[in-house]
Every structure is written in C-alpha cells, then in structure tokens.
Amino acid sequence: MRANFIFSEVWIGLRRNLTMTVAVIVTVAIGMALLGVGLMINSQISTMKDFWSDKVEVSVFLCKKNDPFPACKGSGGVNAQEQAALSQQIKAMPQVESVSFEDSAHAYEVFKTTNSGNTVLLSAIRAEDMPESFRVKLKDPDTYTAVIEQLKGAPGVSNVVNQKEILEKFFALLESLRWAALVVAIILVFAATLLIGNTVRLSAYNRRRETGIMRLVGASNIYIQLPFVMEGVIAGLIGGVMSGVLLMVSKVFLFDKVQVYLANTVLTWETVTKVILITLIFGVVICILASFVTLRRYLRV
Amino acid sequence: MIHFDNVTKVYANQNRPALDHVSVDVDKGEFVFLVGPSGSGKSTFLRLVLKEERPDSGVIQVAGKDLSRLSNFKVPHLRRRIGCVFQDFRLLPNKNVYENVAFALEVIGKPRRFIRKVVPEVVELVGLEGKAHRMPDELSGGEQQRVAMARAFVNRPMILLADEPTGNIDPATSIGIMKVLDRINRTGTTVVMATHDAAIVDSMRKRVVELEDGKIVRDQSRGVYGQAY
C-alpha cells in the first residue's frame, strides 16, 4: 500500500468538488456539535442529580404574625407549643432522617449570601421578614408526598415546600433541551450522510477513468475504494475538529455562564474532552459508513 | 490457458444470446484472432475471460482456474495476470507516457524501485524510447496505442486481450502495432485479439476463430479472415 499515492488521489478528489466538501464539513460540524451539547447536558443533569440528591430537603415554613398565607389566617403566628408539637410530629415520621430548625436570623444570612448582588432587594428585606422553618431531610428523597400530605395544614404551618419538586421542573427543562439538541443532531447527521453519499458519487464520476483502469489492471478493491473513503474520513475529521471547537466555545460561554446559578455542578474539561472524542469518532464512523454504502452502488469493482 | 466449455451468455433484456454454447481452447503462448461482425460476441468473450461478466451456463477456466469458483475478492489477482488493450486506448490524459505505464504498477502496490526499473524497459519494447515524458495528446494514435500496450504488458501478464487495437489506426501504423503484439507474443504471452481488420489477419497467418451470432463458425490454425469479406 503506497500512502503517498492514496493521499495524492484523496487531495485531488477533495479539491475537485470543494463545494460539496465544504458542505459536508459544515453539516458534520454542526450536527456533531449539537450531539455533543446533548451529551454535555446529559452529563450535567446526572452530576446535578447526584449533587442535589443528598441535599434536597422538605422545608416546613411556620406562620409569622400577619402572615399572608391562607393557612395562617388569624393565627397570629406560630406559638411555642405548636412549634414543639410540630417538631415532635416530624421526628416521629418513619421517612425522616433528620430535622433542623432554621430561625429568621439564619434564614436572613442565607438569603444575603445567595442574593449578595442585589442591594435593592437586600435593603428592602429585614431579618424579621424571613420565615422560620423546619428543614426536614428524608431517608429517600422520593417519599416526599406522604410527608407533605401530613404536614400541610398542621397548626402553625404556613407552607410546605419540597425542593425536589422545584429541581424536577428544572431537570425537565434541561431534559427537553437535551432531546431538542439530540433530535436536531440526528436530522443533521442524516443530512450529512446524504451529502457524503453525494460527494462520493460525484467523486466516483470524476475519477471513473482512473478507477476503470485500476479495475482493469487488477488493483484490489481496497486500493480503488480507499481514496474515496479517505475523502469522507478527512471531511468528517475536519468537521469533527470544528465541532470540538464549537463545543469548547459552548462550554466557556454557555455552560460556565449557566453554572453560576447552579453552585458546585461545574462541567469539567474532562467531560468536555470525552464528549469531543465521542463526537469525533462518531462523525468519522458515519463518514466511513456513508462512503462505503455509496461506493457499493456507484463504483463497480 | 483459456478454456471455454459450452459457454452461454444472455444479457438481460435480450432474447438472443451473445454467446451460444461456445467451446474453445487457447493454449499457452498461442496467438489467436477473434473475428466476426459487430455483435457476434467477440467483446463478450473477452469480458468473460476478465470475469467482468458471468456466463449463464458453461465452464470458463483461465490459467487453470475455474472462474465460477473464483471469489470476487480474488478477481483483481486474476486481472493482474491479464493485460488489456482497447480500441480507444484508455490513457489518463493528465499523465505522461511514463506515468501512464507506471500507474498500472502503482495501483497494485509495486515498490517504486521496481517501477523505475521496469517501466523504461517496456516503453522501449513498444518502441517509444525517448518519448517517456510526452503527454498523450502530444502523441499520434499509433503511439498512444503503444503506450496502452506497454501498460498492459508492464506487469508481464500471461494473457494479453486486445479488443480491436487497430480500430482507430491507419493501416500503415497498424503494422507497427501488430509487430509489438507479435513481440509480446514471442515472450510467451498468450494473445487474443478481436478484430475486423482482414488485411492484418491475412498477413499474420495465425489461428483464427470466427464468431457469428454468438456461435463459433470456424476455428482454423494459420487462417485468413475469410472469403465472404
């Protein structure tokens, strides 16, 4: 096998139908980038789920004086007796792992750190405005419904909030984003396959003289087909590298920006590299397959 | 070397067979003319030897191998032992004489040192010494056909198939082409030449196999083209 012979043939082939080659590269790049974004969102969802799964709590907010919540109407705020009873009731539940009490001052501290940028909001809210709450940690975060059922409407409780429910809405949003990216990626991969097929067909037609002679003098099939397949592979590789760049850009300018709001769930470069590798290999494999399938139809050997 | 036993070939969408129960033997080192009018099955015969087509019935053996048992994977190796020359030369217009001949060796993976040694020898054998760096469009028809013969012969095939090699060439130049074919034949290569050219067949006095409507109507050693023409 003479490498320089193959490569000169490949180069001639790529140059002869440059426009098609560019089309292939762009389609592969965008398709693979979207596939990569899908994979990155996917890994993001799982790291976030891991991160949150042992942190989600059920917050049982207690009534304050003149609390606007309907459950607190006319109660004039929770009293010490009710609070102690609640604490007893929560601790007695079989699903509960631990429970802690968060007073107004502590709630205000947390509020201050999470909204440190928003001075207007901070100046408008005082420590006394923050509701007191029991923070209930469950043994299994999925068993929250029974806990909420029992605590909602108990005397002195203004509202029961399950963080998991909020997170799940957010995860659902991420998951639909992921599916959208994957569906568009599949469509583009399909388009890329057709484009590669077309490029190879054109290429085979352009070089029919050479391939005819190659067949005649007994060149082996692989020798005849390899230049065409390599054309596909090189276009796929360039497209893959471009998609890698797009993925790195999306990590820095998209994922890292969003992460600011989702503490501790950083998309690592390690994951990005893995995703880029996967998309690169996938792109090249698609190109090889598409080339081979078309060659079988348009290049008689 | 070439053995046809009761071979029939019918092309799709055609009711008349291109070859009709043809049996013929060509021995090693023979020179055979395949004559007959257009459509008599000469080209089909050559295509069957190359396994470009498959017979509908009958047995074909080339160089002792049964072609029906030859896997597609091995067909290229069969073709390496068979050289081909055509009426339309089939040279690569963007390669010069040397490159055209070398191409046949490059694509079967021969080392460059071997190519550099062998190609000039063959270019000389066909009578093109000193023209190795000409492009095909700078050569006459006869010279282009010599390039094609050099390319067909450079890998020292056992069989050379020539499909009307003088069809596009004037009679005077044809003599030179036939001399080259004769020279190739003398190296021990079996030559099968399909032709319409009565003068050439008559002058060479070689074996003549005449086909008509896919049937062999005459097989004569040291024959002539035939009185009918």
- Residue-wise pLDDT tens digits, A189-198: 888 888 888 8
In Å, what is the CA distance from B27 to each residue of A190, B70, B159, B195? 55, 21, 10, 19
Per-residue pLDDT tens over the stretch A175-189: 888 888 889 888 988
Together in a domain, B10 and B77: yes
Together in a domain, B76 and B171: yes
Together in a domain, B61 and B10: yes
Chain A residues touching residue B109 (CB < 8 angstroms): 1-2, 220, 223
Q: Which residue of A has its CA nearest to B93?
A: A209
Angular region, B196: left φ>0, alpha ψ -120 to 50, beta rest? alpha
Together in a domain, B146 and B179: no
pLDDT at A263 > cutoff 60: no
Angular region, A191: left φ>0, alpha ψ -120 to 50, beta rest? alpha
CB B74 within 8 A of CB B65: no
Last residue of a domain, one of B109, B140, B156: B156
Q: Which residue of A has its CA nearest to B50?
A: A216
pLDDT at B198 > cutoff 70: yes
Together in a domain, B60 and B115: no
Higher-confidence position of A92 and A31: A31
Last residue of a domain, one of B105, B133, B156: B156
Together in a domain, B136 and B166: no
Last residue of a domain, one of B139, B156, B173: B156
Q: How confident is the model at residue B229 (pLDDT cuts 50, 70, 90)?
A: very low
CB B67 within 8 A of CB B61: yes
User: CB A213 to CB B81 under 8 A?
Assistant: no
Chain B residues touching residue A226 (CB < 8 angstroms): none
User: CB B77 to CB A218 under 8 A?
Assistant: yes
Let me know if residue B47 belongs to a domain: yes
Together in a domain, B3 and B72: yes
For helices A269-298 and A221-250, the axis angle rounded to 10 degrees is 150
Let me know if residue B175 belongs to a domain: yes
Share of chain A above pLDDT 70, in %: 94
Together in a domain, B162 and B199: yes
Q: How many CA atoms lie within 13 A of A141 on its CB side?
A: 19
- Give residue B207's domain range: 1-81+158-229
Q: Which residue of B has its CA nearest to A207?
A: B92
Interface confidence, given as ipTM, is: 0.86
Together in a domain, B9 and B77: yes
Mutate to test the interface with A, among B53, B65, B101, B107 (most CBs of A within 10 A): B107
Together in a domain, B2 and B50: yes
**pLDDT for the residue numbered B182:** 95
Domains contained in chain B, number: 2
C-beta contacts of A273-277 below 8 A and 24+ residues apart? A275/A36, A275/A39, A275/A40, A275/A43, A275/A247, A276/A36, A276/A243, A276/A244, A276/A247, A276/A248
Vertex B108, ends B102 and B113: CA angle to 5°?
50
Together in a domain, B52 and B150: no
Together in a domain, B65 and B176: yes
Structural domains present in chain A? 3-52+168-298 (no CATH), 55-162 (3.30.70.3040)
Among the partner residues B80, B103, B112, nearest to A218 by beta-carbon distance = B80
Strand-pair category, B31-35 with B207-212: parallel
Let me know if residue B86 belongs to a domain: no
Q: Which residue of A has its CA nearest to B111?
A: A2
Chain B residues touching residue A218 (CB < 8 angstroms): 76-82, 108, 155
B65 Cβ neighbours under 8 A, 6+ residues apart? B78
Number of residues that this document lists for chain A: 301
